[in-house]
């Protein structure tokens, strides 16, 4: 359900530069992530020039300000902006979850997206937070101190 949180909001171009310009290609070399459809790739590149770290791109193409299942349909159709969202439809353990919320009949027969999302947020809120000597504040989020 983490990707569903991306139904609202934007990301900085910094976070997608690698997918657009320096993705490791099969056979060597760097280029654009081949899983991004050509038209969408052009759209993203027009918004994020090489080296552009600060411009912002909508995470949910066409529905960036509405809390809905559009992000999951976008992921299913290859329009995931960030790699972690795209990976959800390339992994056998998560593809069925994406499909269950984004299929043609999902609004009638599928799981209840809004309720499931709310339930997952409550569960995440109960994850233990390490404090004091048991935890640490990272100086660089992607690295241990």
> Does a structural domain hold residue 14?
yes
Residue 139 within a domain: no
Please tell me whether 68 is known to bind a ligand: yes
Tokens of 102: 């984004």
What is the tally of structural domains in the chain? 1
Is residue 7 a known part of a binding site? yes
Give dist(CA 27, CA 110) in Å, integer. 41
Establish if 143 belongs to a structural domain: no
Residue 142 included in any domain? no
Is residue 141 domain-resident? no
Residue 6 marked ligand-binding: yes
Give residue-wise pLDDT tens across range 85-130.
Answer: 898 888 888 888 888 777 665 555 556 777 788 888 888 888 877 7
The larger pLDDT score, comparing residue 2 to residue 55, is at 55
Please, which residues have CB within 8 angstroms of residue 16's CB and are 6 or more apart in sequence?
44, 48, 57, 81, 82, 83
Reported as a single tens digit per residue, the pLDDT across 27-54 is 899 999 999 999 999 999 999 999 999 9
Task: Report the C-alpha gap between 139 and 141 in whole angstroms.
Answer: 6
99 is in an annotated binding site: no
Q: Residue 60 domain-assigned? A: yes
Cα separation of 118 and 29, whole Å? Answer: 43
For residue 145, is it within any domain? Answer: no
Q: Is residue 74 part of a domain?
A: yes
User: In which domain, by residue range, is 89 found?
Assistant: 2-125
**CATH code where residue 99 lies:** 1.10.420.10
Task: Note the pTM of the prediction, 2 decimals.
Answer: 0.74
């Amino acid at each position: 359900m983490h990707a569903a949180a991306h139904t609202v909001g934007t990301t900085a171009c910094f976070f997608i530069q690698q997918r657009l310009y320096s993705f490791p290609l099969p056979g060597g070399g760097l280029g654009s992530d081949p899983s991004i459809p050509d038209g969408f790739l052009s759209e993203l590149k027009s918004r994020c020039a090489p080296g552009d770290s600060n411009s912002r791109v909508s995470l949910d193409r066409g529905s960036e300000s509405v809390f809905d299942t559009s992000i999951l349909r976008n992921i299913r159709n290859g329009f995931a902006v960030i790699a972690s969202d795209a990976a959800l439809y390339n992994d056998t353990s998560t593809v069925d979850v994406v499909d269950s919320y984004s299929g043609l009949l999902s609004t009638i027969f599928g799981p209840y997206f809004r309720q499931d999302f709310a339930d997952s947020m409550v569960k995440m809120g109960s994850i233990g937070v390490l404090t004091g000597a048991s935890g640490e504040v990272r100086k660089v989020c992607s690295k241990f101190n």
